[in-house]
Amino acid sequence: MHMVLQKFFSLSEYTENKEEHPSNLITMKQSTILRTIFLLCWILIILPRVQGSPLLRNIRCRCIKSYDAVPNVKVLQKLEVIPQSSSCSHTEIIATIKRTQEQRCLNPDSKQIQNLIKLINNKRSTETSKIRSRNHPTAPKRMD
C-alpha cells in the first residue's frame, strides 16, 4: 500500500520523459486534482471505521468496538438491537443520540446494557398494555 501511495504521489515519472507528446503528460494542476480525489475517496473509505461507530455496510458486523457505558435513557432517540446473522456472528446494539444523531455501539454482554434494554422493553410493554386496555371493547368502563 505504501508503494502504491508513493508511486501515485510521485511526479518524477511524468516529468522525466520530456520526449513524449505534451498532451500525454499530466500537468501539475491535473495531478493535484487527481491527488485530491484520491485523498477524498480514501477518507470516505477509512472514516466509517472509526472505533465505536457502526460501519455503513451491511456485509459485515457494523460495530468494530463497543462501549460498556450506559447512555442516559432521556437522550436516546433509538436503540437498535441487531441479532446474529450470517454476516455477523454476534449481537450488536446501536444507540442513536437525539441531539447529535451520533450512533454508538454498545456492548451486548454488559449487565448495564442488558438492564437498559429490559428497562426500555418494560416501558414499552406497560405503554402497550395501557393503550390496549383503553381501546379494548371488553375493558371495564370507568364509572364517574
Which amino acid type is present at position 52? G
Please, what sign has the CA dihedral across residues 42, 45, 49, 54?
A: positive
CATH number given to 73-135 = 2.40.50.40
Residues with Cβ within 8 Å of 26's Cβ and at least 6 positions away in sequence, in order, are 14, 34
User: The C-alpha cell of 133 is what?
Assistant: 386496555
Please say if the pLDDT value at position 73 is more than 70.
yes
DSSP string spanning 124-138? HHHHHHHHHHHH-TT
CA distance 141 to 92: 43
Full-model pTM: 0.47
Q: Please state the rounded mean pLDDT for residues 93-111.
A: 89
111's grid cell: 449487565
- Output 16 or 91, whichever has higher pLDDT: 91
Residue 16 clears pLDDT 60, i.e. is over it: no
Domain boundaries, the chain: 2-49, 73-135
